[in-house]
Homo-oligomer: A and B are copies of this chain.
Amino acid sequence: MGKRNGVLILAVLGLLHESPMHGYELRKRLNSILGTFHAISYGSLYPALKDMLARGWIAEDGPADAGAPALSGRRARIVYKLTAEGKEQLQSMLDESGPEAWEDERFDVHLAFFGKTDVDARLRILQGRRSRLEERRATLRGSVARTRERLDDYTLVLQQHGLEGVEREVRWLSELIANEQASGDGRPASNERG
């Protein structure tokens, strides 16, 4: 009944903005966006859809095969589409370019829908994300240095591996940022002032 602040609704709104869909299909697309790891379950998805329906963000779509007799077989399925309110909600969530947008849980979903996101918001999110990871990199570097002193075999390789992962992430973000700046200027990628 409560907040429904999760990544879930953002992802659902984004997917339904592309085209109307029913729950079962939504779930499959969702798991592709949310990273293949930790697949969303029906026990999460259906209650979330119910909530969004009650809020008026989505509505049942008359079957696209409307009037046509056979729904091509299978059990009656409920196709949802975005309402006008839902589109507004989606836009306001996508235009958020504060910390919420670059935290671990949300960043991937925001990136997946960058195509629908304001150019300025894109840049702020990417830069915020990079700062976040630079902080983490600093912490990890300190931690690796300290662990090295304590000589802790496996913990050390684990932390080093984690550090390398973060460094790779930072490089990747820097590339994306450079690309955004190049295309955002309307000028070809001349890349003046970092």
CA distance A90 to B159 in the complex (A): 22
Closest Cβ of chain B to A2, distance in Å, is 18
| Measured CA separation A161–B37 after assembly (Å) | 14
Contact call B33/A155, Cβ cutoff below 8 A:
yes
- Asked whether A140 lies within 8 Å of B36 as measured between CB atoms, the reply is yes
**Number of residues in A with C-beta < 8 Å to the partner?**
30
Determine the main DSSP class of A at the interface with B: helix
Interface flag for A24 (CB, 8 Å) = no
Docked complex Cα distance between A179 and B135 (Å): 32
Q: Report chain B residues within 8 Å CB of A165.
A: 165, 168
Q: Which of A95-121 contact B (CB under 8 A)?
A: 104, 108, 111-115
> Is B36 in contact with A154, judged by CB distance below 8 angstroms?
no
* Residue on B nearest A146 in the bound complex, by CB: B32
A187 part of interface (Cβ distance < 8 Å): no
Q: Which residues of B contact A113 (CB under 8 A)?
A: 154
> Are A154 and B114 in contact, CB atoms less than 8 angstroms apart?
yes
Is there an interface contact between A38 and B115, defined as CB atoms closer than 8 Å?
A: no
- Measured between alpha carbons, how far is A35 from B144 in the docked complex, in Å? 12
CB distance from A162 to the nearest CB of B (A): 6
Do the beta carbons of B115 and A154 come within 8 Å of each other? yes
Alpha-carbon gap, A32 to B139, bound state (A): 9
Complex CA distance for A113 and B115, rounded to whole angstroms: 43
- Knowing A165-B165, A168-B168 touch, does A36 contact B139 (C-beta < 8 A)? yes
**A157 near B176: Cβ-Cβ < 8 Å:** yes
A114: B residues at CB distance < 8 A: 153-154
A70 to B113, CA, bound (A): 58
Residues of chain A touching chain B, judged by Cβ–Cβ distance below 8 Å, are 32-33, 35-38, 104, 108, 111-115, 136, 139-140, 143, 152-155, 157-159, 161-162, 165, 168, 172, 176
What are the nearest 5 A-B pairs in CB distance? A114-B154, A112-B155, A111-B158, A36-B139, A111-B154
